[in-house]
Structure 1
């Protein structure tokens, strides 16, 4: 078999951009890739927000302090643990049967589990069965999320002409930050409507965002059902035989790329998990902010991140992926050391500035990854390679940091220890980025 099918080519001159899809087709492609990640991450973020605000009372009522925080955020982090398994499972399906069908399955699975969480009784009603069922649903959600991001990113990049992949791939990346804004805004509306300390919020108010996801799922499925398979996958499937297991093949052919991409994703996920989940709990539990106050800050920070994520993704088509990600990770590493001393002033303005700047810097680090990771791998195992490296980074950066966040902030060093942990993981990400190649000049049809 020709080696060129399996290994990335040496970057050459920037290719002339191919003819883009028609405007109507491009809108449908962009909406399909963004709708899926928006819905998936909306489901993901509403769980994180609920975990920070009420889940310790609903599902772990007999725990308190650090133990309660570990139990609550442990179930949140469980998604990260199952994401690599999902990326292997759905990556295999996506690399063999196609991107579109796989994305429909991941969306449906994640959505049904989220609605089920909203309908589930708490520990006061069914006892220990409540946290057990919660863990089971989180495991299935993790499998679905593991297959979603890579599929959405590939759907965007493989439909994009050379020279414009960053612009197309901004939509799955922006979908994650839009989802955070939607999740925070939904909880804010419920909180303002029935009161943050009311019995109604504890009994049914927190369920509303989970049940509303059913509407988003319907929209997402409609869009995805009315799209076609990507031309890059279709051409590859027609000209190259599909043999072997993509997961084994990508580790055999591109182990160095997999490890470096995982290290890069680790630092980015560490920041994202702290910014979108832990800081909400820290602000309400340790800093004494009201739920409404921190949720307003979350909405503002998420909207700022939407702008920086989109701008960085578009700019990466001209400047390259590496310079933008380098700027984002470097800025995040420095800000991680400043963040907690700033938050601990307890000034609402300082808290708002700390979180807004954190999410603004996340944009350049996260935005170009939608094109950067898929560009590293060959077409025959691209779904698996991009998905597994991205989600292994989620385990190392997302799950580990969330589980350690409460013990670190309660240590002798205080919350500064968590900031040092984040900065250390971002330093690893910068080291991996230094050894990864630039990819924005590559043609996906050549790999």
Structure 2
């Protein structure tokens, strides 16, 4: 059919069982993705420089770059999985991302070290990290689309917040696993200890796989398929119908820079100034415990007060707190590090996290929702992915020179808030009407006129 055949789908009431299943499927998918994310982040700061790069200052930079290289594959993954999600189905795309992430993470734990295989070791690590990135490129957008489209009206923010709560649970789980691992003697840590958390990811994968294979497609997407109105090439359609939404999501998602700066660069920086590595893992774990509470709270608040005010509050609050975070690390004040990170990440950042699955998904119509959100997210995440390497470059190895990376992080937060301000408020808009741009509306009216004339 032509583009003029776009019409507003008739969406029936959401099924309570499927709403809960969709939220749980997104929860465990997010848990697997960010168990791997946080695990790789901690390993890149603590273990990988020695295991895969031979140790030394250059090894740390190389290890952090390996963390960031996954973000190069994420836009490709967003395009491919978005195409499947908008053409074939949300469920099929999410099964693919789950399998790819589970297999690649397990295999990282099986890799030979630099001492055993030389340059082959970091090459294999990069290849598996690229596979992780490809998978991650479509996971969050798919889980958010699925949760939003299955959620009851008026509760889309809360139900979709479980996607990001799963991400927090995965990060917490990885931190809890890394605490005893990081405390191991160096000989045990660098030989077999670091492998255990990667192998353990198979348990989260199994749970996520069992839940996802029982899901149904959302009604709004099924109607589009039945009426043969799916996008021919979702990427082209997303840009043609709503390029503003993609750009807006890309800039709004710059708030995630704070996440990678604290979880990767922050840990490495703290270790370099003498803070115990196990302490920093505990700092991150406490923030994630609070996040399990405040992400759903953010979802509840956004259904009551709107997407924009809650998102902007969390983004600006966390952006300001980054200065106190680095100052407390430089001072070696461990209690203050715990308190500042708990407020910055556990409260402010978690509030924004709880909002954006619904906020970003609702910027697009169902026809291109998966692709539009996925591509916008990953463009913004390119900056976040390389933020740890940017931090290493800006500080130039000087432990007292943390101000440039703090300013960089804060600027990214401000840009995200400005992008959110330009968005349309959608918390009271029916699902059938969200993401309907003026261009789509004109096409709908034109189609109705042609149909009336033909009659």
| TM-score, normalised relative to structure 1 | 0.92
Q: Secondary structure at the match of 2:150?
A: coil
Q: Secondary structure at the match of 2:29?
A: helix
Q: Secondary structure at the match of 2:168?
A: helix
CA root-mean-square deviation: 2.0
CA distance in 2, matches of 1:433, 1:59: 40
Question: Is 1:381 aligned to 2:368, yes or no?
Answer: yes
Corresponding pairs, count: 430
Alignment partner of 2:86 out of 81, 95, 101: 95
Query: 1:444 Cα shift?
Result: 2.4
Q: Which residue of 1 aligns with 2:287?
A: 301
Query: Is contact 2:19-2:152 (8 Å) kept?
Result: no
CA distance in 2, matches of 1:229, 1:354: 42
Query: Is contact 1:333-1:423 (8 Å) kept?
Result: yes
Query: 1:190 Cα shift?
Result: 2.8
CA distance in 2, matches of 1:271, 1:18: 39
Q: Secondary structure at the match of 1:379?
A: coil
CA distance in 2, matches of 1:270, 1:37: 18
Q: Which residue of 2 aligns with 1:38?
A: 31
Question: Is 1:200 aligned to 2:169, yes or no?
Answer: no
Alignment partner of 1:150 out of 127, 132, 141: 141
* CA deviation string 1:174-206 (max 9, x = no partner): 0111111100000113344xx2x3311110101
| TM-score, normalised relative to structure 2 | 0.90
Alignment partner of 1:417 out of 404, 409, 424: 404
Alignment partner of 1:117 out of 108, 119, 122: 108
Alignment partner of 1:272 out of 234, 259, 264: 259
Flag structure 2 segments of 5+ consecutive residues without an equivalent.
437-455
CA distance in 1, matches of 2:319, 2:208: 35
Query: Is contact 1:375-1:442 (8 Å) kept?
Result: no
Query: Is contact 1:6-1:378 (8 Å) kept?
Result: no
Alignment partner of 2:56 out of 64, 71, 75: 64
Q: Which residue of 2 aligns with 1:176?
A: 167
Q: Which residue of 2 aligns with 1:263?
A: 251
Q: Which residue of 2 aligns with 1:13?
A: none
Query: Is contact 1:60-1:131 (8 Å) kept?
Result: yes
Question: Is 1:137 aligned to 2:124, yes or no?
Answer: no
* CA deviation string 1:291-324 (max 9, x = no partner): 2212221111111122121101111011110000
Q: Which residue of 2 aligns with 1:345?
A: 331
Q: Which residue of 2 aligns with 1:320?
A: 306
Q: Which residue of 2 aligns with 1:248?
A: 236
